[in-house]
Amino acid sequence: MALIITDECINCDVCEPECPNGAISQGDEIYVIDPELCTECVGQYETSQCVEVCPVDCIIVDPDHTESEEELQGKYEKLVGDGRVSPVSPEADG
């Protein structure tokens, strides 16, 4: 599932550098997640890195972009293959 940031976002900028896919950016009013790039960190991390760091827990599953674990893995591999995402996973090191 791609995630979405709700309007409870306080624009703290903590999540943006944590995203391995560069999916998070500052929008007009709050931070936004590009559903094309968000893989819920599948293939890279055990948990969604943005959710881990958000101080107000305003990052949730986007009901309009639900994807299975397999779909997310495939999406991640395609993004890497297209050169849009770098495989920076600690899991990939071994």
Binding site for ligand SF4 (CB under 6 A): 3, 5, 9-15, 18-19, 21, 23-24, 31, 33, 38-41, 48-50, 53-54, 56, 58-59
**DSSP per-residue string spanning 15-58:** SGGG-TT--EEE-SSSEEE-TTT--TTTTT-SS-HHHHH-TT--
What's the min distance (Å) between Cβ of 67 and ligand SF4? 11
Choose between 21 and 67: whose C-beta lies nearer to ligand SF4: 21
Nearest CB to ligand SF4, comparing residues 9 and 80 = 9
Choice between 67 and 94, CB closer to ligand SF4: 67
Residue linked to tokens 């940031």: 5
Quote the least distance from Cβ 94 to ligand SF4, whole Å: 20
Pick the closest to residue 75 from 38, 45, 46, 47 (CA basis).
38
Q: How far is residue 72's CA from residue 84's CA, in Å, rounded to a whole number? A: 15
